[in-house]
Amino acid sequence: MYCFIKSIHAYLALHQVLLQFTHAPLIIVILLNLIKSIYKTKILITKTIKRKEEMKIMTWRSILPTCYKESNNNKGSSSSSTTTNDEKPKKPRATAVSKEGSFLRISLSDISYPGSPLSVDDLSNNSLLGADIHIFTMTELRTVTHNFSLSNLIGEGGFGPVHKGFVDDKMRPGLKAQPVAVKVLDLEGLQGHREWLAEVIFLGQLKHPHLVKLIGYCYEDEHRLLVYEYMPRGSLENHLFRKYGASLAWSARMKIALGAAKGLAFLHEAEKPVIYRDFKASNILLDSDYTSKLSDFGLAKDGPEGDDTHVSTRVMGTHGYAAPEYVMTGHLTAKSDVYSFGVVLLELLTGKRSMDKARANREQNLVEWLRPQLNDHRKLDRIMDPRLEGLYSTKGAQKAAALAYQCLSHQPKPRPTMSTVVKTLELLQDFDDIPSEPFVFVVPTHDRKEAEEQKEEQKKENRQRMRSQRSPTVYSDSSLNKNTVTSSLNSPMHHLAKRG
């Protein structure tokens, strides 16, 4: 610090000398910018050293939890003696990690950046991710997936292909025999090591019924693989937009929306908040009973902490789902996820994709096209998914549409929190006004007759118009005589005359 101050004094002395020269102001500006950059570098180094010291303390607490528990208990007992009868002791906040002895979730920045206090190799320490996260070898995963056979391929995304497999309980102590989904990083794809690491960090620590369960991973040479629980019904996208097969029932759609909302609310309300950043229909996986779970945490980010209102980051995600303020500024907040949820809720109501180039120009962006109609109950029936065949709750649809309208607000402030969204959707699960049979509109008889008569008249007019448009045929005398002779020879009267 003394050397730093001394260098500033030296530059100030130099400043007095440079004032005598013609280009002194320009040189002074350059020097002042240099001093500013040196000062910023010093602050950054100080923060890095401080963060390393904090992480060392966290690592020791993870390894020796009993010692720190005891000290915390002693601290609590000493402080409780000062609490009066009128004051109630504060209830500790629930941590995002429910593992014994762990009090602080590891952030992605604790490992992914150069100079971070932890490395990927430290993940093998059970105190960081937990004993239920298994480390597989490449050979084991080849066996599990039958050498990544195409017959076991169940999907492919930005990260890479996903294969179905089966793990044996004899493979690892504590590993349950079960079907699994193995996601393989495409080395030539759009995502890479950082996205793989994000999934391991977040899903290795965050546990919730509506987050897909990470069973383990593989980190071997250049190979990066993730092993998840197998979700038998696949993604919401496959069910909602498929051309053939039965459509999702109204009750299933509302159940899926509620489960996904609970998953997002858990992330936002964790002790160290998480912003999902890539909420869309293809990232919502469905269990056999349509329980929805969030998957693919490759783009997830740690939320703002302390006095920060947002996280500044590179704009990433899927076009049509990203919040407008995030696309414009790169400022990421929990309300960005709320907007994305509103897009998926609108897809559930309409059965249409958020972006579709096959639609008319003004209809390609689903939100811009249909959001203005969500608050109009008279127009709501027109935009509901026709494959529902009218088998949905009118009251529930109106409330869900109003909720989607709020979530899709152009400004983040009017959007509700995900906990509010959960409360609203919980009220939409048990409506009794769903019709038992599809609604069929029968055209009245007299209207049908009028429609048929008009159709016949239109046909006659079209015929007359076609005749009038034809050009007249011109015959020469020779061709006319030839045709006359031929037609007379072929006439019935000619044959009768011949017989007589």
Determine which one of 168, 186, 221, 278 is catalytic: 278
Its sign, for the CA torsion 4, 9, 13, 16, is: positive
Q: Cα–Cα distance between 419 and 439 in angstroms, integer? A: 35
| Cα 198 from Cα 275, distance rounded (Å) | 12
First to last CA, the chain: 137
Contact 199, 297 (CB under 8 A): yes
Give the Å distances, CA to CA, from 185 to 198, 217, 326. 13, 11, 27
**What ranges in 204-278 are assigned the alpha helix state H?**
236-240, 250-268
* Residue of 236, 226, 166 lying closest to 196 (CA atoms): 226
Per-position DSSP letters for 81-107, written without gaps between them? TT--SSSPPPPPPPPS---TT--SPPP
Residues 6+ apart with CB under 8 A from 286: 231, 232, 233, 234, 235, 236, 239, 256, 292, 293
Confirm if 106 and 205 have CB atoms less than 8 A apart.
yes
Q: Is 432 a catalytic residue?
A: no
Cα-Cα-Cα-Cα dihedral of 345, 350, 351, 355, to 10°? -80
**Which residues are paired to 165 by β-bridges?**
180
Tokens coding 224: 């990066």
CA neighbours within 13 Å on the CB side: how many for 412? Answer: 20
What residues are labeled active site? 278
